[in-house]
Amino acid sequence: MMRFLISCFILVLLTSCSLPTTRGLVKEREIEQTFIYNMYFSQNKDFVYKAKIKAFSNNVGGILIIKKIKENNFRIVFTSEFGNKFFDFELNNNQFTTHFILEAFNRKTFVKILQSDFLTLIKEKNKVLAVYKETGKKVYKTRLNNKFNYFFVEGNKNTLEKIVHTNKSRELTIFEFKRDGKEIQILHKKFPLQIALRAFD
């Protein structure tokens, strides 16, 4: 009886500690491709979105511009519809520079989370650590600094549908892509932050 109870306890402990992202998925033994690519921001052009950011109890709307300057170099600017700037970041080879940020946004934790979000969102080339199978999909595990990103790719069309940003045991942020990246939802699970992006057609 005691042995049975211990076995049940270990099973519950392992289940509760396992990452929900890969729970129930089958891990492939061999990694067939070295990198997974996010091609939504691969062109050298301005990507312009109508943006809504909900942080804490505040809602801010405006225009988000992501400009690819050259490979691994992006400028990310969020303004009001009247052109007033909220923040202006530059990403160059995974290094972020803050060119401007409105005082109301200038909280260390908030800025760090925004930078992690944009790095996850626009990083094109990601080294694959593991591959999992889901019905009609493949899931690619990659590393982002000391955390992980899981890329959910629809099998037939080879379309990136979702990225799940995690630590070792918990999902932190969900990125959902619709209409070939023209609609993007970013939902945080631990931090009260949501970002909704809709491209200008």
On whether residue 28 sits in a domain, the answer given is yes
For the chain, helix, strand, coil in percent to 5 are 15, 50, 30
pLDDT tens-digit readout, 70-105: 888 999 999 999 989 999 999 998 889 999 999 988
pLDDT tens-digit readout, 24-35: 889 998 898 899
Task: Provide the number of structural domains found in the chain.
Answer: 1
CATH of the domain at 105: 2.50.20
Measured CA to CA, the distance from residue 35 to residue 17 in angstroms comes to: 28
Using a cut of 0.85, tell me whether the model's pTM lies above it: yes
107 near 115, Cβ under 8 Å?
A: no
Q: What is the DSSP letter of 9?
A: H
On whether residue 14 sits in a domain, the answer given is no
Q: What is the domain range of residue 126?
A: 20-199
